[in-house]
Amino acid sequence: MSKIKRIGVLTSGGDAPGMNAAIRAVTRTAIYNGLEVIGIRHGYQGMINGYFKLMKTFHVSDIIQRGGTILKTARCEEFKTTEGRKQAYESLRDRNIDGVVVIGGDGSFTGARIFNEEYNIPFIGIPGTIDNDIYGTDYTIGYDTALNTVIEAVDKIRDTASAHNRLFFIEVMGAEAGFIAVRSGIACGAEAIIIPEVKDQVNNLHAYLEEGYKRKKSSNIIIVAERAYPGGAFGVAEAVKKDFTDYSMRVTVLGHIQRGGSPSAFDRFTASRLGFAAVDALLDDQKSAMVGLQNNEISLVPFSKAVKLHKEVRKDYLEIANILSV
């Protein structure tokens, strides 16, 4: 029988669609198991400052379909300090919180891992970020919704690109990784996909555009991951501009629309499964680990692996993209 009686739940880092569905699942699974649930507002900052709120079943009604996070989120510098984590520990201890579920990305899990080396209140993570860049899980909550948002936007841009015979450079998010770019690029039939993980793509783009130009290809969509090239999509456009003066070019940065909106069915479902699994893990006396999804099964991955190991973008997807975009 686990000694856990009261758990905290928080969201941390960049928000992602489906975080609310995860909060709902954690809250209701915990209450079902006879636990009390404390919502910690504003991420780790709220843990330090004691922004706590007792959560009842009704507090998570009507949120499964909502983007953002009802608990608010933050990127907290103070939690990176020894003093900040000490204050956080004292806040948790004063409220008799004996386990915490952290919904966030790798920065949030790094903080959780360090905290669990210093203090004995177990933390369990749920991967929530649109970037899908966390080792140990095939999907992070929010990724699927962000992809759908991107393809809806790109479909619209393609209408106008095609009407004007234009070349569009469209910048998508993803932090240091190209997961959003690769999958959305294939899903919207992009002519090229530029990601941080592959070098020299911009040089190759010259050859590709040259070829398309000769074939009188009327419009092109180039998806650029935000950190793939200095200056992002604007930088890539600048780099090819002088050689393609006959093309009319435009740049669109999709930005934070990728973080908002109602979560997709997949994100709601995954968030519900992972929220359930996170409480299960705490009741099973697990600590310092993330619940993930591997081959559609729940996995438990130590934070030490989730934050240290690198999840690779599948390069074979780029080959598919190239073959299909002729």
Residue span 108-127 as binding mask against ligand F6P, x where in contact by CB under 6 A, dash where not: --------------------
Examine the residue annotation and report whether 144 is marked as an active-site residue of this protein.
no
Report the residue number, 38 or 290, with the smaller CB distance to ligand F6P.
290
Q: How many CB atoms lie within 10 A of CB 47?
A: 31
- Residues near 214 by Cβ (< 8 Å), separated by ≥ 6? none
The phi, psi pair for 218, rounded to 5°, reads -80, -35
Question: Collapsing DSSP states into helix, strand and coil, what is residue 31?
Answer: helix
Catalytic member of 131, 133, 144, 267: 131
Tell me how far apart the alpha carbons of residues 105 and 134 are, in angstroms, rounded to a whole number.
Answer: 7
b/e string for 7-31 if b means 16 or more Cβ within 10 A?
Answer: bbbbbbbbbbbbbbbbbbbbbbbbb
8 A C-beta contact, residue 53 and residue 39: yes
Q: Does 14 contact ligand F6P by CB under 6 A?
A: yes
Which secondary structure element, helix H or strand E, spans residue 167, and what is its range?
A: strand 166-172
HSE-CB at 318 with a 13 A cutoff on CA atoms is: 20
Selected from 85, 113, 158, 259, the binder of ligand F6P by CB under 6 A is 259
Stretch that binds ligand F6P, among 37-45, 172-180, 208-216, 292-300 (CB under 6 A): 172-180
- Quickly tell me which residue has 């915490």 as its tokens: 100
The residue among 105 and 125 lying less far from ligand F6P, judged by its C-beta, is 105
Cα–Cα distances (Å) from 280 to 7, 35, 99, 235, in that order, read 12, 12, 12, 47
Smallest gap from Cβ 122 to ligand F6P, in A, equals 25
Size of interface with ligand F6P, in residues (CB under 6 A): 10
Q: How far is the CB of 229 from ligand F6P (least distance, A)?
A: 15
CB of 107 to ligand F6P, least distance (A): 8
Q: Pick from 98, 131, 171, 197: which binds ligand F6P (CB under 6 A)?
A: 131
* Closest distance of CB 141 from ligand F6P, Å: 12
In the complex with ligand F6P, the residue whose CB is nearer, 195 or 240, is: 195
Applying CB under 6 A, which part among 91-99, 148-156, 167-175, 263-271 lies near ligand F6P? 167-175
Q: Does the protein bind ligand F6P through residue 175 (CB under 6 A)?
A: yes
Spatial distance between the Cα atoms of 248 and 167, rounded to a whole number of angstroms: 6
Q: Does 174 bind ligand F6P (CB under 6 A)?
A: yes
CB 39, min distance to ligand F6P, A: 22
Which amino acid is it at 309?
A: L
CA atoms of 160 and 154, how far apart (whole Å): 10
Smallest gap from residue 133 Cβ to ligand F6P (A): 8
Burial class of 190 by CB neighbour count within 10 A (0 to 12, 13 to 18, 19+): buried
Q: Which of 17, 67, 84, 105 binds ligand F6P (CB under 6 A)?
A: 105
Indicate which residues carry an active-site annotation. 131
List residues near ligand F6P by CB under 6 A: 14, 105, 129-131, 173-175, 226, 259
